[in-house]
Structure 1
């Protein structure tokens, strides 16, 4: 039995008064984040230094006392402090080169604020500071852990949600199978396993592309601020929401299917952001959401005592014959879907051959410590620092396409 962190997401149905109070929370949290981000930028521009979280927390207390911003007292003070904490985290991630420089938040995108404590869900209602009557909540599954912080959000389509962070003791119901599998991620098919199983690429953006283009065309003809503009904006937002929900549902099904059947799953450590720089395939790569899939696969494997092995992205998995080991450099072009080894004359399906090589490489190098396990710091095998950060065969083949 192990302790894990799990997040439960539920739909909220606030009444009119609660919706207005939520709007004030969204606005105040956004104001605090933007105000102190601007303050940090100005301080750095003038002095080369900027305040940290604790200095800005004291400034926030003084800001509430000013007559022009006394309305900040109307909302939960801890939510405003958490907005400052989020800003501090954004700066830390930037300086550690884990993220880009923080941007100002917009009210036109997803609005959210976090309540770090005093959160409870009782009788189908969410109870938070400032919300004494509780907000109606559709609790579609039981919360089994200890409730911690909660993040309330409003989507561009006008729906309210709460994400409740919990710590709980997790008992897995997934049995060990003793099997291992290699997985090759692609665009023609989303996933191809070393056993020849194919998970198709549903291409949700392409599926709804014509509807989305039509809805956006109608939106561009509406007058901003009018009722017609708002109604059409909601239609566009719901289409985007449909695409995101459909994709997430499919990726959840793919990831849990692999975790239930295999104890060790070997995958390539692709540099997705680097590959997205190719503008001809960026849309398709984003739609495939390889990064989200790997994240889902990783935490589900960890919960259930399984192992995800990430292999070196420079390993020529699709070019190497899995029978004799011959490296065929003529298969760098992605248009070559099948090829025959000139040495042993074995006929290969490009993707299945790659998955078999990924599995073999992952298992052979596991004991040597030359691969990366389920996140953490990347450990490379025979990497050259002068190489590009993306998989070479991807760029060369994309240039031909």
Structure 2
């Protein structure tokens, strides 16, 4: 049994839309006020304020004349906003995230979270607190049989669409799989598998680039603050939403297929944030959405009991010969195929995928970390490369009298020299 969110689109009535808009505004205000109070307490008095203290502050705020309107909306989304702030500070003190920032009326996500005490679920109908009519949800797929939502999140995206997410318990049926695959992410081919298969990059943003440019030019001509500018902004947001929806759907299908077919999946630890600094590749890297794909693989492999291995980002997968283990001196991006000194010709992406698979299997066999360690990332060396290199490292196998067609069992740094089957 896993907790799974089912997201649906719904169409609120004008009264429901106005009530939800007020709720979004109150949630944002409470979050910002609590963040300001916690920041001032630490800056001025070196005092840490926890969730219980901010909850007491919220009760006091509701009793003031200036903030009496907070009583007009459900209290549960306001309390959930304080809990989210507490989680943000917990992640900050654990050095997993940056310091929390204020929510913006224009840029931040508009959402409100309701727990079981703030909604009614009966006969497949969802009614939120302080509302009499249920939400007009479009049930694009059924909920699990007998499922009852424990948390409901209502949100509105920048294109004006309304969504409701129901968190339910779902049973994932086990599907046996024995395959192993290495995955190399790219731009020409979105994914290249160690089996030699290449998955074409759909380039969703490029397909709508002309329509997006027209909508943005139309937006730039409108006067700021006018109703026509608001309409033009919605048109731009709808183009972005269409691109995002197509990209997410494609990545879901790819990740589900890989998880169902393979027991072990090996990927690279790519840093898309650093790659976005290259202005020649920033748009293509953003459109590929490698980070989103990795996130999907992480929770889907956990659901299905699969193994996901993440190879260190500094592992030279493209420059390493998958046949003999020789390391090329340099490998520019424009080189898509190359011939090793052992007379083996490689496709750059397929060779990289095979090397990633071999390195991941050696990590499993030798007990290395699944994720790259902080120290190894700082020194730009993978966990497996911390071992001293052999004297014959970098010398082609045919010159050492080894079989060039055999598996590169020792090049990955495995002390035993044997990779798992």
Between the aligned partners of 1:149 and 1:183, the Cα distance in structure 2 is: 35
> Which deviates more from structure 2 when the two are superposed, residues 5-14 or residues 222-231?
222-231
8 Å Cα contact 1:8/1:164 also seen in 2: yes
The Cα offsets for residues 202-250 of structure 1, whole Å up to 9 and x where unpaired, read as 2222322222122111112112332211211110110110111011011
> Which deviates more from structure 2 when the two are superposed, residues 162-171 or residues 184-193?
162-171
Alignment match of 2:171 (pick from 165, 169, 172): 169
Question: 1:338 maps to what in 2?
Answer: 337
Offset, 1:291: 0.9
Question: 1:193 maps to what in 2?
Answer: 193
- Any residues of structure 2 matched to 1:1-400 within 5 Å, and which? 3-109=1-107, 110-118=109-117, 119-123=119-123, 125-144=125-144, 145-172=147-174, 174-176=175-177, 178-331=178-331, 333-342=332-341, 344-372=342-370, 378-380=371-373, 383=376, 385-387=378-380
Q: Say which SS state the counterpart of residue 153 (structure 1) adopts.
A: strand
> Which deviates more from structure 2 when the two are superposed, residues 258-267 or residues 25-34?
258-267
Offset, 1:293: 0.3
Offset, 1:131: 1.9
Between the aligned partners of 1:272 and 1:384, the Cα distance in structure 2 is: 15
TM-score, normalized by length of structure 2?
A: 0.85
> Which deviates more from structure 2 when the two are superposed, residues 44-53 or residues 231-240?
44-53
> Which deviates more from structure 2 when the two are superposed, residues 41-50 or residues 142-151?
41-50
5+ residue gaps, structure 2: 383-421
The Cα offsets for residues 6-41 of structure 1, whole Å up to 9 and x where unpaired, read as 000011111111111111111110110111112222
Offset, 1:283: 2.5
Between the aligned partners of 1:308 and 1:120, the Cα distance in structure 2 is: 39
Q: Say which SS state the counterpart of residue 270 (structure 1) adopts.
A: coil
8 Å Cα contact 1:4/1:167 also seen in 2: yes
Q: Say which SS state the counterpart of residue 105 (structure 2) adopts.
A: coil
The Cα offsets for residues 298-334 of structure 1, whole Å up to 9 and x where unpaired, read as 2222222222111222211111111111011222x11
The Cα offsets for residues 30-84 of structure 1, whole Å up to 9 and x where unpaired, read as 1101111122223333223342211111010000000111110111111101111
8 Å Cα contact 2:185/2:192 also seen in 1: yes
Between the aligned partners of 1:283 and 1:316, the Cα distance in structure 2 is: 25
Between the aligned partners of 1:41 and 1:221, the Cα distance in structure 2 is: 40
8 Å Cα contact 1:124/1:139 also seen in 2: no
Q: How many residues align?
A: 378
8 Å Cα contact 1:312/1:371 also seen in 2: no
RMSD of Structure 2 on Structure 1 (CA): 2.0
Between the aligned partners of 1:382 and 1:326, the Cα distance in structure 2 is: 26
8 Å Cα contact 1:4/1:168 also seen in 2: yes
Between the aligned partners of 1:360 and 1:151, the Cα distance in structure 2 is: 42
- Structure with bigger gyration radius: 2
